[in-house]
Structure 1
Amino acid sequence: MSLYAQLRQRAADNKPIRVGLIGAGKFGSMYLAQIPRTPGVHLVGIADLSPDAARANLARVGWEPERTRAASAQEALRLGSTWITEDWTALVGLDEIDIIVECTGNPIAAVEHCLAAFDNGKHVVNVTVEADAFCGPLLGRKAAQAGVVYSLAFGDQPALICDLVDWARTCGFPVVAAGRGHKWLPHFSESTPETVWGHYGLTPEQALRGGLNPKMFNSFLDGSKPSIESSAVANATGLGVPSNGLLYPPASIEDIPYVTRPVSEGGVLERKGMVEVVSSLETDGRRIPYDIRMGVWVTVEAETDYIKNCFEEYNAHTDPSGRYFTLYKRWHLIGLEVGMSVASVALRGEPTGVATCWNADVVATAKRDLQAGEALDGEGGYTVWGKLLPAAASRKLGGLPLGLAHNIKVTRPVKKGQSLSWDDVAIDTTTSAYRIRREMETIFDDRHA
């Protein structure tokens, strides 16, 4: 039975999937916009540090005020309405909730939220992929040990890429490469929240209208988010990672199967079976027509002449040799698609992407020369950006995960372009995020990388 049919049956039986949302910012608001239009789902509660901001976002997306007037969780459950609270622990602790959607964007907090949800027998759809990038393999393992499902969020590009990879392998195709698009030039790695809108292609007025966070969007632009998302994909699919960071080959959709081949065959890959990000800009800054900037793709290989001939007979989108075929989805709709994860986890017990190995890591890398005593401000800020590295390379370096490079001080000078290590910073070792990361480093050795 399709997910939609199962949702309708849940609605008819008055047994909706009961959801708790932590964080009602931009991504969360997009999911909130779809909930009233989805049968068989009851948003029991929203936990947000600013309940007033959450209510404002609910109004922005069209919720009627009476839907959120429940004074308690029990009242929300009785009336089928939604309770708003500052207390995420109270939300996670509700026995009646099936799934927590973690949507804060704060990786350190997200780890704590996920672990508490597992402890309370709740499935988790984790929108905060920044957390997954530095400890997703262990989060996935801890969820399984607790008998619950941990999942990446559909609508965000990693889960969509995982879906394409799963399609390819289920059909019998070897995956040569998979990834997403991005607007990229090398100097974007130096971008700050002050310069982001000009590079990104939005006016400050458009950003204000959309309630867009300049630091968050700068993390997209400066290469941090593409690295984070590529790390999540590599760890969920077992695909490899470029040895010295993403290459961002410029290509139109027409040329993706041409550039996403091994170097030995005219492409850019070190070898077959890797993640990569395709740029929508030529190296001189010219926009590439029919780009994949907002989309995802997978390149597969015809291993026999028969399959190659089938590609030709059905006008498949291949490279000049006819052996490499790219399937793509040109757009992703972000929070508007999260309902797919909620339904898949609750109704099928299946994640829409989950880390199963530790192949990749994202290491904090200096945007400029840093001096002892300076505070790091995490992804999208003024001090560091995230560089994708093989997990083995990060372990050898003692690399500082980008997701933990928030509000910690540098203890010695670091040159621009240098990846930071644990020894370069003074870090709070008492957080759940730090402890689980260090635990993962001891569990996932080179045999799992």
Structure 2
Amino acid sequence: MNLYRLLQEAEAKGRPVRVGLIGAGKFGSMFLAQCRRTPGMHLLGVVDLAEGRAAESCRTTGWPDERIDAKDPADALKTGKTWCGQDAMKLIEADALDVVIDATGHPAAGIQHALAAFRNRRHVVMVNVEADVLAGPLLARRAAEAGVVCSMAYGDQPALISEQVDWARAIGLEVVCAGKGTKYRPVYHRSTPDTVWDYYGLTAEHAAASGMNPQMFNSFLDGTKSAIEMAAVANACGLTPQSHGLSFPPAAVEELCSILRPHNLGGVLEHEGTVEVVSCETRDGAPVPNDLRWGTYVTFKAPDDYVRRCFSDYGLVVDDTGDYAALWRPYHLIGLELGISVASVALRGEPTGATGEFRGDVAATAKRPLKAGEMLDGEGGYTVYGRLMRADESLKAGVLPLGLAHGVKLKRDIAEDAAVTWDDVEFDAADPTVAFRREMEAAFRN
């Protein structure tokens, strides 16, 4: 509740939070739209692999050319302007940089950027949930060893869910379930970049004109992104996924406390202290009224009769026992809210959600019967989708994490809906990302 005051003080002292942004896509651009308006924050540099994209994203979000013409990070530091380039390491190593934001969405890049930031004693805000789920527990150890913070990105759903879980626990409530809403039907697991726009009710021409990437949007539709985000929440909040992963029950906001409770009370959960995603559609495709498609929630229960009466006295929606209630947030604004993370890690040394354990993992799972010799094409593609698993079961089965299921060849046939394992694919053990993930598996196996 005091971040704005701290930012004003940083501005008044002439020592703003100095930020480096890697990745100038949609999330990064939304941050660009707001950070130039935030006191006490200096965007030292923004980089993107695509030539000219960093500067173009700045212009698109309202930055005047005279604010983004710094020659390099050193010139940006001297003049108070912003450098736009392509070299992420040059930005990470820049003098006086405080916070690195990785908004690339590429797990291998995210891991390497984070490790470089830790070596240079920079805090990290990891928009790249894919990297966090692939190797976040080990990255958290590296950040602690370096004495810096590695934080989830506020505005993205995992950080907002983590905040709601923390709220419940900090006032003495037991968390039953936490998660988000989405658009789901079982058939979506089969969706490919060729079918995604039909499910969204868009034409391919409209999507192309709007710059919408079909593989990225398909990862939201086919259940992959939900699995990734719920694994991140499980690992940040110490919640344990259910044995089947996610079931995506349709639910209106008023039904959250009744549906997201244990089986023996008529709910869908096999145990409390878990994660789940609710659908804004019924299984036949009908819309759920008052849905939570864009939002997040936490369900919790009263510890005694007095608190149960308080729930009723103050108008909480409760289940038929009166014990279970929910708090929900109807929207999330992704990059527009990212400044909360930047200010929190730099000025308070606190993450807005952070990986702590290895509770959840995401298995590469066959969308259709796959044949030996086929190449996997990763998140949102034609071959696999992501399925949430308990980490201990994932390690026991030797599953291939979704974040590494791109550009690898199958050695044997895989049945539809079966998890792909390390033994099923040809992989390069010397690849830095593969090696880091394998190191993490070894570290958390026991």
Query: In the alignment, is the contact (CA less than 8 A) between 1:259 and 1:267 conserved in 2?
Result: yes
| 1:201/1:158 CA distance change after superposition, 3 Å | farther
SS in 2 for 1:91: helix
Distance 2:101 2:427 in 1: 28
Q: How does 1:234-273 map to 2 (within 5 A)?
A: 234-273=234-273
Specify the SS of the correspondent of 2:272.
coil
1:341 is aligned to 341
2:46–2:82 contact (8 Å) kept in structure 1? yes
Residue 305 (structure 2) pairs with residue 305 (structure 1) = yes
The within-5 A match list for 1:299-448 is 299-446=299-446
SS at 2:36 equivalent: helix
CA distance in 2, matches of 1:37, 1:198: 38
Counterpart of 2:44 in structure 1: which amino acid?
Answer: V
- Give the Å deviation of 1:377: 1.1
Residue 291 of structure 1 corresponds to 291
Shift of 1:442: 1.3
SS in 1 for 2:325: strand
Worse-superposed segment, 69-78 or 343-352: 69-78
Deviations 1:233-254 (A, max 9, x none): 0001111101022010111001
Query: Is contact 1:111-1:432 (8 Å) kept?
Result: no
1:116-265 matched pairs, under 5 angstroms:
116-204=116-204, 207-208=207-208, 210-265=210-265
Q: Please, which runs of 5 or more residues in structure 1 have no aligned partner? A: none
Residues 45 and 91, structure 1, Cα contact 8 Å, conserved in 2: yes
Distance in structure 2 (CA, Å) of the matches to 1:293 and 1:115: 34
| C-alpha distance in structure 1 between counterparts of 2:209 and 2:346, whole Å | 34
TM superposition score normalised by structure 2: 0.98
Across the aligned residues of Structure 1 and Structure 2, the Cα RMSD in angstroms comes to: 1.2
What are the superposed Cα offsets for residues 318-359 of structure 1, whole Å, 9 maximum, x if unpaired?
Answer: 112211010000100011111010011001101111111111
**Shift of residue 205, structure 1, vs aligned partner:** 5.3
2:166 maps to a residue whose letter is: D
- Aligned-partner SS, 1:318: coil
TM (norm. structure 1) is 0.97
User: Which residue does the alignment assign to 1:35?
Assistant: 35
Structure-2 change in CA distance of 1:205 and 1:332 (3 Å): farther
Q: Distance in 2 between matches of 1:332 and 1:220?
A: 15
C-alpha displacement of 1:443: 1.2
Partner of 1:84: 84
Corresponding residue pairs, total: 446
Name the structure 2 match of 1:62.
Answer: 62
Shift of 1:202: 4.3
Unpaired runs of 5+ residues, structure 2, are none
- What is the identity, as a one-letter code, of the residue corresponding to 1:55? A
Structure 2 residue matching 1:288: 3-state secondary structure: coil
Distance 2:120 2:206 in 1: 41
Is the Cα–Cα contact under 8 Å of residues 26 and 212 in structure 1 kept in the other structure? no
Of stretches 422-431 and 91-100 in structure 1, the one that deviates more from structure 2 is: 422-431
Q: Offset at 1:95?
A: 2.6
Q: Deviations over 1:389-422 (max 9, x none)?
A: 0011111110000011111111211121110000
Taking the aligned partners of 1:223 and 1:32, their CA distance within structure 2 comes to 29
CA contact (8 A) 1:217 1:380 kept: yes
Kept after mapping to 1: 8 A contact 2:192/2:218 = yes
- CA drift at 1:66: 1.6
Please tell me the residue identity of whatever aligns with 2:340: M
